[in-house]
Amino acid sequence: MKRQLLNLLLSLSIFFIFHTPCTNAQGWEENYTGVMLQGFYWDSFTDTRWTKLEKQADELANYFDLVWIPQSACCGTADNMGYMPLYCFLQESSFGSEKELRKMISTFKSKGVGTIADVVVNHRGTYSTMVDFPEETYKGVTYQMFSTDICKNDDGGNTLNWANSNGCQLSQNNDTGEGWDGGRDIDHKSENVNKCVKAYLHYLINDLGYSGFRYDMVKGYSPGFTAEYNAYANPQFSVGECWDGTTTIRNWINGTKVDDKPMSAAFDFQFRYRVRDAINQNNWTRLSAESEGDAGKPLIFNEQYRRYAVTFVENHDTEKRQNSQQDPIKTDTLAANAYLLAMPGTPCIFLKHWMAAKGDIKRMITARKLVGIHNQSSWQVMESKPMYYAVKTQGNNGELICVVGKTPAAYKVPDGFTEVLAAANFKYYISNELTGEWNDRLQAIVAEEVAIKQQQQSQPSYTPHKVTVYVRSEVNWAKMNFYIWDSNNNTQLNGNWPGKQITDTKTINGYTWYYQTFDFSSEDYYVNAVFNTNTGSPQTVDATRIYNDQFFVIRNVQRDGKYVLEYDTQTRNLFNTDVNEDGSVDISDVVATINHIAGTASFPKSDVNGDGTTDISDVVAIINFMAGN
C-alpha cells in the first residue's frame, strides 16, 4: 500500500512538472504550412458539441493543425452561438460544459492540433437592464464591468438616454470604432475593461489551453487594443474579423503592430468574394480580375501581407445570409475548396464543406502538404478563361497546378506534372518527382477511411444513463413546477404547461434543491426546461440542451418578464468531486480516490473528471478543486 501511494505521489509531481504553461510566439507564423478548420456553422449545436468534436480528434489531426470553435463562455441558459457573452470565466455554453471543453482542448493538443478561441470583446450582454453586468471571481480576484465601462455613444445615444433616465452614468469616451446596436459597446480605454479583458485572454491561453484567438468584429474598436491584448496574453495565433475591403484590412493589420511587427492576421474577405463571384457569375477570370482597384484585390495578392491572410470560401456568416449580397456559394464548392487549398495564406475550411466532402478535402490537404505550400508561397496564373482558371503554386518540396472551372480538362498541363486529383470542376497536378510519395500517402488515406468505417461499425452501443436537473430559487415561490420537453420531437415529459409540481428535494452545499432525474438513451438526446410556480406564472427563461447533471439558480432578476436562470457550477463541481459523499471536499476525498485506484475500497463517484476511468488525473482534479483552481 505504501509503495502504491508513493508511486501515485510521484506521478502527481511529474504531472505538475509537465503541465507548466509554455511561452508561445505572437501573431501568425511565417512560412506556416498549417490548415485550419472552422468547427461550426450557425446553430450547429449538435455537430459542434465539445464531446462530438473530441471524438473526431484522431481523424482531424491527420489534416488540420488548428480548429476554430465558437465562443465558449456562458451567454445564458438558452440556445446561443456565443456572440452575446455575459461571462468570461463561466465556461458553460450550448456546446457543452467546461469539463468537456477542457478535455477536448487537451485531446486536440496531445495530437498536435491547436484550438482557436472565438473572442468577442467588442460588446457584452447584460442581465435584465441595459447596464447590469454579472460579477465573477477568478483565482480570488473579482471582475465586473459597470455602466461607466459602456461607450458614451453606444446604440446611437439610446443607452445614454436610458442611463440618464435611470440615474446611471456611462463612460465619458466615445467608441473607438464602429458601433453595433445589438449589445453594449464597451470602452476599451477604461482601465476596468482593460483589466477584465486581459485577465480573460490570459485565462483562455494559460488555463483553458487555447492556442490562439479569432477576434470578432474588430472594426468595433481600435486595432491598437488588439495589439495590447496580444502582447499581454501572448497567443501563438491571432486572426481578426475585419469585414471590409483589402485596404481597410491592411490598415487594421498595420494598426496591430508592436515594434513594427503585426500582432495579428486577418481574414481575407476579398479572396472569398472573388471565389463567390467566379462561381455565381460563371466567369472564372474573376479569380484574377487585375482591373479591379486595390481594395478589391485579395490580401494574398500582396507579398507583404500574404503571411497575415487567413483565406476562406465560406463561414458561418456568409453561409447564413441567404439571398443577400453575401449570398452563400451554392454550387462548385469542391472547386472553391480546391482553389483555396492550392493558394498561399492559411486556408480555413468550413465545417459544412468538410462534412459534405471529407474524402475530397482530405486528398486536397494531403496534396497541399506534400508539395509544401505555405502561407507565403509564390504563385503564378497559368491561364485565365471564363470556363476555367489555372494557377501554379510553389511549395517547399515542389509545385502544384490547380485548375478550376466548368471545363478544367481543357487546360493543357505542361511537362513535368502528374494529375493526382480530378472531379467535374477541378484538377490537381503535382511535380513528377512527388508522385511516389503521393501514392504512399493516398494509400494511407484509404487505409484510414477503412479503419474509421470499421471503428464506427464496431463501436459499443451507447450506454444509457441518468441525468438529474437541480433547481433552487432566490424567489419565494410557494411551489416548484418543472415543465420539460426533450429532443425527441419536443415530447413533453411532465405533461402540458405548467408541467409537474416537484416535491423531491436535497440539501447540497447548504441549500435546498428541487430535483428530477431523467433517463438518457442516446448520445444526442437532451432535455429542455422552464421552471415556474402556481399555474405557470411567474416563470423562468428557458434552459435548453441539458445533456448532463445541471444545477440552476433562479435569480431574483427578470428579463422580459421572466426570471433569469444562472448555472451554479460551484455546487455541481462540489457535488461531483465529493467522492466519499460526506458533504464536503477535502483530503479524505483524495484518500478515497487513491484507495479506489489501489483496489482497497470502492467509490462510485471516484471518476471525478468524467473520462471513464479512475486514475491520477482524478486525484489532480480533486486537489485543483480544493485549491480553488
The whole model's pTM is what? 0.91
315 residue type, one letter: N
Query: C-alpha distances in angstroms, 229 versus 186, 393, 420, 427?
Result: 15, 35, 44, 43
The whole-number average pLDDT for the span 404-411 is 97
- Cα dihedral 504, 508, 510, 513 sign: negative
Higher pLDDT, 332 or 321: 332
Domain residue limits, the chain:
32-148+181-375, 465-574, 578-626
pLDDT at 575: 82
pLDDT at 201: 98
The whole-number average pLDDT for the span 600-612 is 78
Any residues with CB less than 8 A from the CB of 458 and at least 6 apart, and which? Answer: none
The whole-number average pLDDT for the span 575-582 is 83
Percentage of residues in the chain having pLDDT higher than 90: 80
pLDDT at 324: 66
Report the range of poorest mean pLDDT among 36-45, 386-395, 601-610: 601-610
494 residue type, one letter: N
CATH 2.60.40.1110 fits 465-574, yes or no: yes
Q: Residue 406 burial by CB count (10 A; 0-12/13-18/19+): exposed, middle or buried?
A: middle
Q: Which DSSP symbol is given to 205?
A: I
Condensed to tens digits (0 to 9), the pLDDT of residues 285-315 reads 999 876 567 778 999 999 999 999 999 999 9
Condensed to tens digits (0 to 9), the pLDDT of residues 102-148 reads 999 999 999 999 999 999 999 999 988 999 999 999 999 999 999 99
The whole-number average pLDDT for the span 78-92 is 95
Q: Is the pLDDT of residue 7 over 50?
A: no
pLDDT at 233: 97
- For residue 346, list its beta bridge partners: 310
Multiple choice CATH, 32-148+181-375, 3.20.20.80, 3.40.50.10740, 3.40.640.10, 3.30.1370.60: 3.20.20.80
Q: 582: pLDDT confidence band, cut at 50, 70 and 90?
A: confident
Give the largest Cα separation in the chain, rounded: 84
CB atoms inside a 10 Å sphere around CB 87: 22
Condensed to tens digits (0 to 9), the pLDDT of residues 139-184 reads 999 999 999 999 999 999 999 999 999 999 999 999 999 998 889 9
Higher pLDDT, 578 or 28: 28
Cα-to-chain-centroid distance, residue 290: 36
Number of residues assigned to the chain:
629
pLDDT at 550: 95
Q: Is the pLDDT of residue 533 over 60?
A: yes
Q: Residue 121 burial by CB count (10 A; 0-12/13-18/19+): exposed, middle or buried?
A: buried
Mean pLDDT, the chain, as a whole number? Answer: 92
Report the range of poorest mean pLDDT among 263-272, 568-577, 590-599: 568-577
Query: C-alpha distances in angstroms, 186 versus 37, 117, 447, 588?
Result: 30, 20, 52, 46
Residue 338 grid cell = 480546391
Q: Is the pLDDT of residue 529 over 90?
A: yes
CB 564 within 8 Å of CB 558 = yes
Condensed to tens digits (0 to 9), the pLDDT of residues 466-505 reads 999 999 999 999 999 999 999 999 999 999 999 999 999 9
